[in-house]
Amino acid sequence: MTAKKTTDTTDRSKETIVNMSVRLPESVHERLRKLSYEKRLSMHAVVLEAIEKELSARKY
């Protein structure tokens, strides 16, 4: 997996952002797309929310 660091000045208190790609099965992508539409959020926001929730649950 390759990652590219950038500085995002619009979100998360100017944290350095690492760009990465995620390969998803089509069925998971479709469910993610529908969930993001229903929540009126970007797929990026839904994925980031899920990651944050999982990391918190695991105390990271």
β-pairing verdict for 4-7 and 16-19: antiparallel
Within-domain flag for 14: no
pLDDT (mean) for 11-38: 92
Assign 11 a pLDDT band (cuts: 50, 70, 90).
Answer: low
Residue 54 has pLDDT above 90, yes or no: yes
Within-domain flag for 33: yes
Q: Report the run of H or E that residue 48 belongs to, with start and end.
A: helix 43-57
Determine the angle formed by the axes of helices 43-57 and 26-39, rounding to 10 degrees. Answer: 100
Domain count, the chain: 1
Q: What is the CATH number of the domain that holds 43?
A: 1.10.1220
* Domain that includes residue 25, residue range: 21-60
The DSSP letter of residue 40 is: T
Assign 14 a pLDDT band (cuts: 50, 70, 90).
Answer: confident
